[in-house]
């Protein structure tokens, strides 16, 4: 049995290191078309078995041209990090150990690692002592977790038990967010039964910061159960809502303040940048990702809640056959996450934090921001390019004379395989967005990408 694993895992490790060691040479984008990939991977359901080594080798060979080199230092799409070596290795072990981290009983070490990593993150971000947390698949699920806690809390204060009574006949809940909220907020609200119609939208400025005067005007209405969703790091511009001013507005209204800080909250780890999220600790809940700026492999999001009672009340579940609680009150993740059976996703987060330390996280965040700035400055050497707005953190928005040129140049750079970036719309015009979120990205990667843009633009 062990021999089976010896061979397949050794081969797999070689395939993995081959992939990592060729990242600098290979095209960043995929080279196969959809049809080619279907052709390479498809066929009828196999009738019989195939040895594991052959399965892995054939899988790796067939997928190769359809892989995007996301771990490459020149992948700048969305806000996607890579995997730190310690986090990738811990993620492999997570698979091999195969703990079911839903219950302490099915993975005591996994539960304690989550406890420790949760406390490290709380300390790193300066969130209130005693806050509860949940390791979840991503920021989307973190919103769902936090907003379920918020829903419980604001309705409980209005005398309604939403876990029992649902939303039929419940007091109306007012939910406020800005025009520039991330779409995952809307989906969390839909899943929680509020619908998107339950949302009061306030304006934001050009950079994407919530108009706090407009928020105050909304909250000035008659008292009502209220949830406010603010943002630390707008997905296009990286702009931060004024969290202190928003917390000031929420307090007299008794509103629950939730912060979407998918990537942006990581500035709290940087002494040089944490002023951008000043006031973050005054919120009631926070959702962010480890799979973005901390460079932990997917899936890795985290929900924090300043109030453990509503968090637990909203999520907790039990059945006679489960083994919950016990010596020294261990923590069962099923009481805090929307998942049930679940991967022990705390291991890679723990490994990333252990490998970087407080200083390493700050350096990673600072370095990405410095490289984004270097790219923005370097655009001066790219004919016809123009930076849009200001570089707040690790995102750069830029464009060319007209939408057609912007689209053409972006296409040419992506097709060259030198870098991968995506387009977006800003103020009704096309723009290119570059996000530096990868621990590997170097000054050389930035220069190579600028050279690719110079070649495409001339």
Ligand X SMILES: *Cc1c(COP(=O)(O)O)cnc(C)c1O
Residues forming the site for ligand X (CB under 6 A): 79, 138-140, 182, 184, 233, 235, 260, 262-263, 289, 301
Q: Where are the alpha helices (DSSP H) in 285-402?
A: 308-315, 346-378
Q: Quote the CA–CA distance of 313 and 335 in Å, as a whole number.
A: 8
Shortest Cβ distance from residue 291 to ligand X (Å)?
6
Q: How far is the CB of 172 from ligand X (least distance, A)?
A: 26
- The per-type count for the chain, helices as H runs and strands as E runs, is 14, 11
Contact 344, 101 (CB under 8 A): yes
Residue nearer to ligand X on the CB measure, 260 or 335: 260
**Among residues 141 and 324, whose Cβ is nearest to ligand X?**
141
- 3-state SS assignment for residue 194: coil
Q: How far is the CB of 137 from ligand X (least distance, A)?
A: 7
424 - beta bridge partners?
A: 431
Strand ranges across the sheet with 395-399? 386-387, 395-399, 429-435, 422-426
Specify the pairing of strand 386-387 against strand 301-305: unpaired
Closer CB to ligand X, residue 236 or residue 385?
A: 236
Rounded Cα gap, residues 70 and 438, in angstroms: 9
User: Which residue's entry shows tokens 């066929």?
Assistant: 43
Q: Compute the distance between CA of residue 410 and CA of residue 424 in angstroms, rounded to an integer.
A: 11
- In whole angstroms, the minimum distance from the beta carbon of 293 to ligand X comes to 10
Minimum distance from CB of 204 to ligand X (Å)? 13
Scanning 42-159, the segments in alpha helix (DSSP H) are 52-63, 85-97, 108-125, 139-157
User: The tokens of 333 are what?
Assistant: 């993740």
Q: Please state the closest distance from residue 73 (CB atom) to ligand X, in A.
A: 20
Contact 200, 174 (CB under 8 A): yes
Report the residue number, 189 or 450, with the smaller CB distance to ligand X: 189
CB of 385 or CB of 441, closer to ligand X: 441
Nearest approach, Cβ of residue 184 and ligand X (Å): 4
CB of 89 to ligand X, least distance (A): 22
* C-beta of 114 vs 289, nearer to ligand X: 289
Residue 240 or 453 having the CB closest to ligand X:
240
Q: State both tokens at 105.
A: 């009983």
Token representation of residue 33:
């078309």
Nearer to ligand X by Cβ, of 102 and 138: the residue is: 138
């Amino acid at each position: 049995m062990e021999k089976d694993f010896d061979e397949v895992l050794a081969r797999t490790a070689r395939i993995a290191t081959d992939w990592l060691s060729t990242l600098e040479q290979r095209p960043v984008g995929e080279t196969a078309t959809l049809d080619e990939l279907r052709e390479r991977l498809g066929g009828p359901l196999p009738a019989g078995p195939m040895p594991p080594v052959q399965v892995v080798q054939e899988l790796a060979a067939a997928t190769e041209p359809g892989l995007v080199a996301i771990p490459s230092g020149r992948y700048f799409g969305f806000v996607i990090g890579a995997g730190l070596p310690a986090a990738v290795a811990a993620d492999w072990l997570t698979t091999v150990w195969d703990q079911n981290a839903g219950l302490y009983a099915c993975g005591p070490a996994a539960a304690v690692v989550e406890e420790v990593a949760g406390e490290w993150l709380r300390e790193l971000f300066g969130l209130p002592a005693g806050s509860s947390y949940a390791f979840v698949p991503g920021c989307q699920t973190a919103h769902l977790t936090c907003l379920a806690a918020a829903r419980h809390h604001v309705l409980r204060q209005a005398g309604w038990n939403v876990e029992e009574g649902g939303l039929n006949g419940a007091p109306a809940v007012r939910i406020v967010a800005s025009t520039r909220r991330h779409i995952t907020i809307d989906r969390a609200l839909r899943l929680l039964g509020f619908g998107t119609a339950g949302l009061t939208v306030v304006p934001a400025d050009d950079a994407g910061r919530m108009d706090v005067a407009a928020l105050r005007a909304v909250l000035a209405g008659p008292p009502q159960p209220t949830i406010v969703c603010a943002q630390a790091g707008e997905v296009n511009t990286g702009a931060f809502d004024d969290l202190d001013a928003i917390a000031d507005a929420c307090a007299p209204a008794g509103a629950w303040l939730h912060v979407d800080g998918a990537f942006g909250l990581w500035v709290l780890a940087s002494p040089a940048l944490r002023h951008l999220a000043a006031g973050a600790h005054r919120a009631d809940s926070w959702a962010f990702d480890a799979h973005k700026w901390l460079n932990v492999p997917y899936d890795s999001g985290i929900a924090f809640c300043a109030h453990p009672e509503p968090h637990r009340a909203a999520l907790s579940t039990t059945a006679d056959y489960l083994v919950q609680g016990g010596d020294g009150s261990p923590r069962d993740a099923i009481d805090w996450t929307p998942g049930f059976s679940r991967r022990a996703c705390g291991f890679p987060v723990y490994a990333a934090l252990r490998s970087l330390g407080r200083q390493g996280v700050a350096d990673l965040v600072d370095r990405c921001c410095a490289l984004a700035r270097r790219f923005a400055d370097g655009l001066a050497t790219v004919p016809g390019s123009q930076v849009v707005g200001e570089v707040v953190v690790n995102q750069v928005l830029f464009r060319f004379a007209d939408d057609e040129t912007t689209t053409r140049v972006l296409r040419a750079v992506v097709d060259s395989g030198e870098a991968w970036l995506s387009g977006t719309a800003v103020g009704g015009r096309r723009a290119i967005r570059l996000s530096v979120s990868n621990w590997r990205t170097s000054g050389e990667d930035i220069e190579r990408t600028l050279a690719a843009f110079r070649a495409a633009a001339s």
